[in-house]
Structure 1
Amino acid sequence: MPGRDRPGTSSPAHFTGYAAILSSAALFPFQTTWAAAPLAGFVLACAAASLSPRSRFFLPVISRGQTAIRAVALTFDDGPDPLTTPLLLAAFAKRRVRATFFVSGRNAVRHPELVRQILGAGHLVGNHSYSHDPLLMLSSYRRLFREIAAAQDALKEFGIRPLAFRPPVGLTNPKLPQVLGTLGMFCVTFSCRAFDRGNRRIDGLAGKILRRVRPGDIVLLHDVRPGGENDVARWLREIESVLDSLAAKDLRVVSLDALIGRPVMEAAG
């Protein structure tokens, strides 16, 4: 099953870093310019890995699920939102679909009734940090830990402990594996998205998803209000089109835990 690796174990970044240091040390007596090349390459590799939601350079990342079945999982970031969350829940109930909501701790505290509705309808909840700072991965270890732990504390009030963490904007860094290892969590990103910029770009959203989606995909969407009331109606039509067209493509929507073969949350201890 995917994702059985532990976040705290040595990663490709460790081995690449060690190799870069050894290579640099070996080259230094001969040519100092050449000696800098392995270290520069390592820095570039770290920068590239940070920007890829599917990269496993720093830690094990689950970005896809099982491909043996014709199924996908729908995940919604940034909520809950008083306008969009009830619309999603109604659309899911009509089609008997289970989704996963990666919520921010701050929004969960602001709208506790919506978190209860999500859980009461049988959907899953994951941790998306407390404040959803898009620059969170540039923060210190202490702040990164505090952001994720604060969201855990907020969600504990609903009787759950999320096991899955999705970083804001899908970015990772070298500090994240230790934080998640300490908290007993793992990292989930995505393999299919519409590049909707947090529902700021909803035109053609369904078409973008449906052209890209494949069995086993973890689909990224957003539970946050678009610009105006007309945009909300258009956004909902796009979401409903995704749901109905997936069924027409013989792709079942299953819960994230079923797709990846491991629990996404558990009862709070």
Structure 2
Amino acid sequence: MAQDWQQLNEQVTALLKTAREQVLAKMQSPLTVDEKTNRKDLVTNVDKSNEQFLIEQIHQIDPAARVLGEEGFGDTLQDLDGRVWIVDPIDGTMNFVKQRDNFAMMIGIYQDGVGQLGYIYDVMQDVLYHGGPALGGVFAGERRLKAPANIALADGLIGASGPLVVHDISHMQAIVHASAGMRVYGSAGIELINIMLGKTLGYISYLKPWDIAAGKVLLEALGCQVTTIDGQPLNMLSSNLVLVATEKAQRDILQIEEDDVSL
């Protein structure tokens, strides 16, 4: 089985490299941009075409697997039985449209509900963060990453969803106040990379399965906690208010939630 996972990893890495080349080529042409739920929830022709390409290739690589994709070109899932791939073709679409930077492609591979491989590709920096239990570690390109320092909330920066803080959802203002400061990157993938690199100690946001599937595999393999805001396990087939953090920072944040702290 170990050899099967290694071969699969090589195939996914090659697939994502090809997908990156296609995305960069399409960025040279005008984008077709549509709203999904509102003017800040965007989808482009590149999101759609990239998901179609990825899912088509995944079915060739792993014919028995099922695929859940953000833009709806995959399968309809009621469970995570067998092998399930969870795909985000362009994470950080607003950044993709407005900045042409700070966006990622993400794939999480789960076997009977257990995350085995995760991939977050920082497209513009051309760095693929990948690994998980099936590879015995997490890598940035060929470089093995060390676990980020297990620091407390007061000692580091926290990534956060801006609207959660503005509207003080789940005591977000108290959490940010207790930290060394807040950072907002506008892409779950980029946020999660910053945790892996030890630049931030956590991230809190409403996330859908494709936003967190890859990151959950990678961050847990590096010793971080990935739960709901109240410390419960994630339902990987639904939206959650997700807390990703070092163990110490998670304890601090859960204490703020329990104490019902507000500013």
Give the shorter-chain TM-score range: under 0.3
The structure with more strand, counted as a fraction of residues = 2
- Report which of the two structures shows the higher radius of gyration computed on alpha carbons: 1
Bigger RCO (CA 8 Å, 6+ sep): 1
Q: What TM-score does the superposition give when structure 1 sets the normalisation length? A: 0.27
* Greater fraction of residues in helix: 1
